[in-house]
Amino acid sequence: MYIGEILAKNFYDVKPEDSVLYVVDRMNELHVPQLPVIDSNDYLGLVSKNDLLTAHDNTRPINSILTSLKFVYLYEYQHIYDALQYMSTNNLTVLAVLDKENSYIGVVTQEDLLNAVNNNMGNTRNGAIIVLEVGQKDLSFSHIAHIVEAENIRLLSMSVHEIPESTKLEVTIKVDKQHIDGLVASLWRFDYIVKATFNDGSRDTDIKERYDILMNYLNL
């Protein structure tokens, strides 16, 4: 999904000649601590509420009290994961978006981005979440996908997290079914460590115990 697909519908930009009071009021109205400053279609940068609250005269235009603006932005054709990383790194609530001609076209907000990432990861669909522990040299996305599909279950998303000070990886997968005892058993059978499952319809959190019960039942 591209950034240009999730532009905010409200107008978040202000002008350099707008007063400090107007811009702060606009931030309060939109519940954001930053706003993009636009001159025609030219993006000048982000102004923050902290910068404006230090002004001694809130009737003055913002361009008369600010010597520089935070010049951060992304392009509409970049991926939403780029926006997620950029906003996290720069501690942003809104992110200015430009087109190929470097003209300002809008912003992406934290809320819109969170909804887009959630949808992109398949979290809007019902299903279970499985957390695996895998050695860094043993990770095979295709093998995990094959095990899931062999159980007639659809893999919705898969993400990887490096475990600090370890050679292990934590792999989180989302599938489209909640009854996953057979899938959990298959993962154990192929030597995958199933650390946890969520939304699988079971109150039992001891994954290994559930596996042992299942194996005894199947007499394997």
Average pLDDT over every residue of 40-64: 91
pLDDT at site 66: 82
Residue 150 contacts residue 115 (beta carbons within 8 Å): no
Q: Is residue 113 classed as helix, strand or coil in its secondary structure? A: helix
Give the tens place of pLDDT for each residue, 139-184: 999 999 999 999 999 999 999 989 998 899 999 999 999 999 999 9
pLDDT at site 160: 93
Q: Is residue 43 classed as helix, strand or coil in its secondary structure? A: strand
pLDDT at site 10: 85
Does residue 209 register a pLDDT over 70?
Answer: no
Residue 72 contacts residue 86 (beta carbons within 8 Å): yes
Question: Which region among 1-10, 24-33, 131-140, 203-212 has the lowest average model confidence (pLDDT)?
Answer: 203-212
The gap between the terminal CA atoms of the chain, to the nearest Å, is 44
Residue 90 contacts residue 102 (beta carbons within 8 Å): no
pLDDT at site 200: 66
Q: Which domains occur in the chain, in start order?
A: 3-119 (3.10.580.10), 129-218 (3.30.70.260)
Q: Assign 110 a pLDDT band (cuts: 50, 70, 90).
A: very high
Q: Assign 9 a pLDDT band (cuts: 50, 70, 90).
A: confident
- Burial (CB < 10 A; 0-12, 13-18, 19+), residue 153, is buried
Residues 6+ apart with CB under 8 A from 159: 121, 171, 172
